[in-house]
Amino acid sequence: MSHIFPRNSRARLPVIDHGDGVYLVDTTGKRYLDGSGGAAVSCLGHSDAAVTAAIRAQLDRVAFAHTGFFTSDPAERLADALIAHAPEGLDRVYLVSGGSEAVEAALKLARQYALETGQPARHRVIARRQSYHGNTLGALATGGNMWRREPFAPLMIETTHIAPCYAYRGQDPGESAAAYGHRVANELEAEILRLGPETVLAFVAEPVVGATLGAVPAVEGYFHRIRDICDTYGVLLILDEVMCGMGRTGTLFACTQDGIAPDILTIAKGLGAGYQPVGAMLCTAAIHDAIAEGSGFFQHGHTYMGHPAAAAAALAVLGRLTDDGLVARARTMGARLRTALEDAFGQHPHIGDIRGRGLFLGLELVADRETKQPFDPARKLHARLKAAAFEAGLICYPMGGTIDGRQGDHVLLAPPFILEDTHIDEIVTKLGTAL
């Protein structure tokens, strides 16, 4: 009996033995193609020599020195490298240990900015239904995933949710993508006016919605309109790229493809690529300086922030992604995987939509392609698909509740960027078997 909870007490999980490129191998020798990088984490696969060597070298020097006393060369170089690649205007970095921590830091930074700039009434957060921003209390309050929120209601941050930009189900017949994007973005303006603009702190969104919707990018123009609305009402735009960032969508930062930059941006998962727990929040100098010139101190912190070995890992990952061309590879291999999925499942009676960007792709399962009718949630299709794929030796990331937290099923694919054409064939064949 395992004493680790919650999962191991309920299910007998295989025991992991080692990683081998895009494969994970359990102690019985069974090989699993990691078609989802865990949960869009393992962008470099499981045996990247450069990253392991960088961590080892740092461990040989020093593993940990508290940021209250020291900075470190890897942490400083990581911050410089992130800023060099970041969208225009993001030029301050705050290092943390994961996605939820990055989102918490973003929320508290926004709140403290409002206080330091004489806007104490700004405390409300607007996010989108069917979003996930993490599991700590602030991040949970922000996310729009109802079944995760409800057990903990009332949550401590006042958050309301507008519709996501989800063209497959939101766009009206005959409506252009541009008109749809504009219409759904305008929900933000209506919500700001309803709440009172002087009370609204921030709008939080994933550029490409990952776990909860299955790799749904916004239509062109949506985020331009969102940026305009935020600017008009003095609302901070926080983009959560914890899942879709770090090259996953074919550009290092996903929002680049939407043609906008946020005031605050969060990254994690792919930053450590699974080799170390690490995350970061980036913000504009204006936000940072308002605090620096005010109280002079950002009221936040964690013991492991700026951890030297984690920073060394992230710096090596960033090098692999940019200098070694792996972001570009995510773009080209993503296009090939998408074509292969469309060829294999484009006419499948129970695949309603194939979407995403780069190596961040989603398939939505439907009972009826014509009416887009979802399967009965009681059938737990996503869980059965996950189990069937796993049995066949494919790790993918299916989820239920796609439409409204209760109905709908999708599967997310987010394989390592190092995958080869043979792996694409294997993903398609095994997913087909599971389906």
The answer to the question of residue 87 lying near ligand PMP (CB under 6 A) is no
273 within 8 A of 51, measured Cβ to Cβ? yes
**Range in contact with ligand PMP (rule: CB under 6 A) among 5-13, 93-101, 215-223, 413-421:** 93-101
**Sequence-ordered alpha helix ranges (H) in 152-263:** 167-170, 177-195, 222-233
Positions in 245-284 near ligand PMP (CB under 6 A): 268
Instruction: Compute the least distance from the CB of residue 194 to ligand PMP, in Å.
Output: 26
Per-residue b/e over 34-68, b at no fewer than 16 CB within 10 Å?
bbbbebbbbbbbbebeebeebbeebeeeeeeeebe
- Give the nearer residue to ligand PMP in terms of CB position, either 102 or 291: 102
Size of the site for ligand PMP (CB under 6 A): 15
- Give the nearer residue to ligand PMP in terms of CB position, either 164 or 210: 210
Closest CA to 97 of 322, 297, 306: 306
Angstrom distance (rounded) from CA 119 to CA 340: 52
- Give the nearer residue to ligand PMP in terms of CB position, either 272 or 424: 272
Token output for 404: 């409204």
Positions in 20-59 near ligand PMP (CB under 6 A): 39
The answer to the question of residue 357 lying near ligand PMP (CB under 6 A) is no
Residue choice 48, 104, 116, 206 for contact with ligand PMP (CB under 6 A): 206
Instruction: Compute the least distance from the CB of residue 17 to ligand PMP, in Å.
Output: 24
Positions in 108-147 near ligand PMP (CB under 6 A): 132-134
Instruction: Compute the least distance from the CB of residue 246 to ligand PMP, in Å.
Output: 12
**Range in contact with ligand PMP (rule: CB under 6 A) among 74-82, 94-102, 118-126, 332-340:** 94-102
**Range in contact with ligand PMP (rule: CB under 6 A) among 45-53, 92-100, 160-168, 381-389:** 92-100
268 within 8 A of 104, measured Cβ to Cβ? no
* Beta partners for residue 368, in sequence order: 373
Token output for 275: 């080799």
The answer to the question of residue 217 lying near ligand PMP (CB under 6 A) is no
Instruction: Compute the least distance from the CB of residue 140 to ligand PMP, in Å.
Output: 10
Provide the 8-state DSSP code for 373: B
Per-residue b/e over 169-201, b at no fewer than 16 CB within 10 Å?
bbbeeeeeeeebbbbbbebbbebbeeeeeeebb
The answer to the question of residue 243 lying near ligand PMP (CB under 6 A) is yes
- Give the nearer residue to ligand PMP in terms of CB position, either 243 or 333: 243
In the bound state, the residue with its beta carbon closest to ligand PMP is: 99
Residue choice 42, 58, 67, 100 for contact with ligand PMP (CB under 6 A): 100
Token output for 286: 């204006």
The structure tokens 């869009």 sit at 40
Angstrom distance (rounded) from CA 83 to CA 372: 43
Contact set with ligand PMP (CB under 6 A): 39, 98-100, 103, 132-134, 206, 210-211, 240, 242-243, 268
